[in-house]
Chains A and B, each alone.
Chain A
């Protein structure tokens, strides 16, 4: 029992450190992680974000060290243990998303349907910021002074982010949006518009309209960690900007793999059969 309390105390301590680090993001404060090495910089003196990274994690180390032991999401040996958070889940302690009442009802309906309407179950791109914050698949950042490219293994999508540029005036609706970047001190700020209305933001049913505007802030606080802050605005469905913070951790030695989701996607058909056969899975 004592072991459990020691572990719990350590875990809470780590959580608080992490929460502080995340809260500090984008507010002009500097977070110093213990025993962390310096931020690599490019020839222009800006932080160099080049590397393979894992979103949705707070742990330092390579992929095997940080994911191999218990696997993504916990031990799984105890089916009665609390449900592990996925990118579809609402993290504990986080405020509810600021949806307009009619829109909140729609989000709730999707939750009660256990996420079977998730666009990714049709192998469509996960959109932003979901693609950035998910933890099961790595993302690779390739940075040059004039443009930054981010490759995501999940759904094999990419973003090209020109620096100090304006959005084109002939945008077409897209899943990942049109991104432009600039530096504010050591923080990379990325502005994204030009979305379609076919993705979920962060959590089951968190839909949006084509007026979605996403503003991201990437602050590499040391060699291993980027603090990520994202602000979502959508006057059609939200009552105010929705702000989320998480961390993106360096995974040296990891390579991106192919992910061709349409190869063997049998889930939509299974959902149809569940509904047709009257199998009870919907939350009441």
Chain B
């Protein structure tokens, strides 16, 4: 019963957040394709804590064993800090991490990151959900 109550509470939070306005600096939908979700595991090579967006880079092995360096975009430093990220502590070059996100529309080795599974197994958000900032499902005006 207790578990069901907890599950119900979690669902409330999720449903609640669906109605909570956030803000992205720019349009997700222009640069990234919500229909191309991807999960990649690799070795962290660099993190840029910069505004308006932070970036990090992963060396990822492709099917042929070749190492490809991928770039991921996420929240700026202030938002990351409030989500619990600590610079040079939470994630460091050399760490093996797994990233869930969405690929860039231009097909490059570039993606929008959402959730990172750290080397110790902890999961943390690094970027907003897909679709943030590109206008949502309907325009601000009635369409006739």
Pick from A64, A72, A274 the residue with the most CB of B within 10 Å. A72
Could you say which of B25-33, B60-68, B88-96 contacts chain A? B25-33
> From A82, which residue of chain B is reached at the shortest CB distance?
B18
B103 to chain A, nearest CB (A): 11
Which residues of A (70-125) have their CB < 8 Å from a CB of B? 70-77, 79, 81-92, 95-97, 99, 104, 107-108, 110-116, 118, 120-121, 123
Instruction: Check B141 against A74 for contact (C-beta < 8 Å).
Output: no
In chain B, what residue has the closest Cβ to A11? Answer: B15
Q: A114-B135, A137-B78, A263-B50 are in contact. Are A86 and B23 (CB under 8 A)?
A: yes
A254 lies within 8 A of chain B by Cβ:
yes
Q: Complex formed: what's the CA distance from A49 to B118 in Å? A: 39
Nearest A-chain residue to B127, judged by Cβ: A76
Whether the pair A76, B27 counts as a contact (CB closer than 8 A) is no
CB of A96 within 8 A of CB of B141, answer yes
Which residues of chain B in 101-144 are interfacial with respect to chain A, using CB atoms and an 8 Å cutoff?
Answer: 102, 105-106, 114-115, 125, 128-143
Q: Say whether chain A's binding surface is mostly helix, strand, loop, or mixed.
A: loop
Give min CB distance, B101 to chain A, whole Å. 9
Decide if A69 is an interface residue (CB 8 Å cutoff). Answer: yes
* Min CB–CB distance A10 → chain B (angstroms): 5
Q: Which of B33-57 contact A (CB under 8 A)?
A: 34-35, 37, 48, 50-53
Roughly how many angstroms separate A15 CA and B15 CA in the complex, as a whole number?
10
Flag if A85 contacts B11 (CB, 8 Å): no
- Cα–Cα distance between A75 and B10 once the two chains are bound (Å): 10
Counted as pairs of residues, one from A and one from B, with CB atoms less than 8 Å apart, the total is 263
Given A58-B16, A134-B21, verify A261-B52 contact (CB < 8 Å).
Answer: yes
Most A C-beta atoms less than 10 A away, residue of B16, B29, B139:
B139
Complex Cα distance, B37 from A81, in Å, reads 12
A72 touches B139 (CB 8 A): no
By beta carbon, the residue of chain A nearest B143 is A108
A267→B25 contact, CB < 8 A: yes
A151 at the B interface (CB under 8 A) = no
B22 interface neighbour in A7, A10, A134, A263, Cβ under 8 Å: A134
Whole-angstrom distance between the alpha carbons of A73 and B133 in the complex? 11
Tell me whether B13 and A70 are in contact (CB under 8 A). yes
Closest Cβ–Cβ distance, residue A59 to chain B (whole Å): 7
- In the complex, which residue of chain A has the Cβ closest to the Cβ of B34? A79
Q: Are A71 and B125 in contact (CB under 8 A)?
A: yes
A68 contacts which chain B residues (CB < 8 A)?
Answer: 83-84
Pair A114/B106 contact, Cβ less than 8 Å: no
Q: Report the separation of the CA atoms of residues A93 and B11 in the bound assembly, to the nearest whole angstrom.
A: 21
CA distance A76 to B14 in the complex (A): 10
A195, CB-defined interface residue at 8 Å: no
Which residue of chain A has the shortest Cβ distance to B31 in the bound complex? A270
In the complex, the answer to whether B51 meets A263 with C-beta atoms within 8 Å is yes
- Chain B contacts with A in 61-87, Cβ cutoff 8 A: 75-79, 81-84
Q: When chains A and B are docked, how far (Å) is the Cα of A92 from the Cα of B129?
A: 18
Whether B52 pairs with A264 at a CB distance below 8 angstroms is yes
A8 touches B139 (CB 8 A): no
* Contacting pair A83 B21 (CB below 8 A): no
Find out whether the CB atom of A74 lies under 8 angstroms from the CB atom of B138.
Answer: no
Is A4 within 8 A of B136, CB to CB?
no
Q: Which of B29, B48, B140 contacts A281 (CB 8 A)?
A: B29
Q: Which residues in A have their C-beta under 8 angstroms from that of B50?
A: 263-264
The answer to whether the Cβ of A218 comes within 8 Å of any Cβ in the partner chain is no
Q: Tell whether A277 is near chain B: CB-to-CB under 8 Å.
A: yes
8 residue pairs A–B, Cβ–Cβ below 8 Å: A56-B23, A64-B84, A76-B114, A85-B136, A88-B134, A89-B21, A92-B19, A274-B30
Q: 9 closest A-B pairs (Cβ-Cβ)?
A: A89-B136, A7-B11, A203-B140, A257-B78, A96-B142, A56-B21, A83-B131, A111-B139, A264-B50
Other A-B pairs beyond A68-B83, A115-B135, A204-B140, 14, CB < 8 Å: A3-B7, A4-B11, A7-B15, A83-B131, A85-B20, A86-B22, A88-B135, A88-B136, A89-B21, A90-B140, A110-B135, A111-B140, A274-B105, A281-B105
